[in-house]
Structure 1
Amino acid sequence: MNFILFFIVACALTFSLFREILKRGSDSILLTVWKFFSYYTTLSNFLVLIWFAALAFLPSSEIGQFAQNANVAAAITFYILTVGIANYLIFGWPKLSVYERISDLSVHAVTPVITFVYWLVFSEKEALQYSLIGYWLIFPISYALYTVVHGKWSRFYPYEFTNVQVLGLKKVALNAIALSISLVIGAASFILLGKTVGRL
């Protein structure tokens, strides 16, 4: 099961990367790959890939045991689930070619859905702790800081709400605060869901 899920996510990322390379325009392949891995969507999918790899290939190792931790599993599932939800809430259902649609669905819908279903059915949930929500924020906050910093010299911002040059530092900071509050509320709700399901 874990190997199959690992394979599906690997295919989704590969397919999405090929799409970016095909539409790269004047960018070099190296620059295109860097931009590809500058998206929160890509990094969240990649995190899921590493998680499934640990579960599939190293279940008895320290890494595998860490991956099986209830709070680690829930945090990773929460990250990828917010990717899917936020994408369609913000961008809706844009007009895309068949190839682009498949690529878009693979990383914004397929990975989130299979990860959530796996977590819902197989992951341990009763040990989830609200006190660890602060640790859940390390990944998204680190990503936001990295995006703002590299955007200053690269002038590339994957998401408009992080664009300091257009919005200004104050507006971006307010966006970050609003996003952090939303993530805290979302994480608390997700833990509540996990604890509820775990008692069933």
Structure 2
Amino acid sequence: MLARRLTATFVAALCITALAIQLHLAIDRAHPGGHSVGGAILNYFSYFTILTNLAIAALLGATAANASDARIWNRPSANTALAVYIIVVATVYAALLRHLYAPSGIEFLAERTLHLVVPAVFVGYWLILIPKGTLRLKDQLGWLVPPAIFFVWTLVHGALTGFYPYPFLNVAERGYTSVLWSGLLFSAFFLTLGTVLIIVDWLLGSLQNRWSGEVPTA
């Protein structure tokens, strides 16, 4: 419990610090860019990266306060869902987004923290500190709901304001057919990754059961 709470505190602090820096920068650039502060904040919360890191910060903040396995935020399913989301964040960033802009200074640190450091540390947290062996394949159907809501929100928000957080979701440039195909491909990616993590959960759970069942010899 102590190890989980200390790790949760550390990762939550990383998330909150990087998120605060990015929010400050978004607000700071609002007026020079011709945008309102309210619009800048709304756009800030329209990135899957931001929402996923915010969810991780909230979940781990709750864990730091109470690491009991009975609490909903410590359930393997909730933690695995966030592990899936943050791996998608890191993968998409490395494969599709990293080359599109070159931040510097404190923005560079915040960006790398949200896209690379937090994913690595949180996946390690999931592997080592979250109980294994209780997940089911059908769990991942529920995990698809938040990304689906994000996808719909992105299309609606973009249609109303012209803002799209990612190039592959930009209807104005790619058209609805291409964006819908992107949505289907990402759904398949989420399902595949969820299945992989569930299998890892089963394997680690089986190993943990074997170790706990061993009888020490004199």
Q: Which moved more, 1:107-116 or 1:189-198?
A: 189-198
* Matched residue, 2:143: 136
CA distance in 2, matches of 1:191, 1:162: 28
Structure 2 gap ranges (5+): 1-5, 208-218
SS across alignment from 1:107:
helix
Tell me how far apart the structure 2 counterparts of residues 16 and 195 of structure 1 sit (CA, whole Å). 37
Counterpart in the other structure of 2:48: 40
* Superposition map of 1:113-152 within 5 A: 113-152=120-159
CA offset digits 1:126-157 (Å, max 9, x no partner): 10111111111001111001100111111101
Query: What does the per-residue CA deviation read over 1:44-65, in whole Å, with 9 as the maximum and x for residues that have no partner?
Result: 001101111221224459xx71
TM-score (normalizing by structure 2): 0.84
CA distance in 2 between partners of 1:22 and 1:196 (Å) = 48
What is the CA–CA distance in structure 2 between the aligned matches of 1:47 and 1:81, rounded to whole Å?
A: 14
**Which residue, 157, 160, 168 being the options, matches 1:161?**
168
Distance 1:125 1:87 in 2: 28
Assess if the C-alpha contact under 8 Å between 2:18 and 2:113 holds in 1: yes
- Say how many residue pairs are matched: 198
Whole-Å separation in 2 of the counterparts to 1:30 and 1:149: 17
Equivalent position of 1:86 in the other structure: 92
Partner deviation per Cα, 1:74-119 (whole Å, 9 max, x = no partner): 1111111211121011123553322221121111112112211111
Distance 1:186 1:170 in 2: 24
Instruction: Tell me which moved more, 181-190 or 162-171.
Output: 162-171
For structure 1, the 5+ residue unaligned runs are none
Percent identity reads 25
Structure 2 letter corresponding to 1:77: A
Tell me, yes or no, if structure 1 residue 55 matches structure 2 residue 63: yes
For residue 71 of structure 1, what is the aligned residue in structure 2?
77
TM-score (norm 1): 0.91
For the pair shown, the structure with the greater C-alpha radius of gyration is: 2
**Kept in 2: contact 1:12–1:107 (CA 8 A):** yes
Alpha-carbon distance in structure 2 between the residues aligned to 1:169 and 1:17? 30
Q: Contact 1:12/1:111 (CA < 8 Å) preserved in 2? A: no
Question: Contact conserved, 1:16 with 1:107, CA < 8 A, in 2?
Answer: no
Amino acid at match of 1:154: T
CA–CA distance in 1 between the matches of 2:177 and 2:26? 32
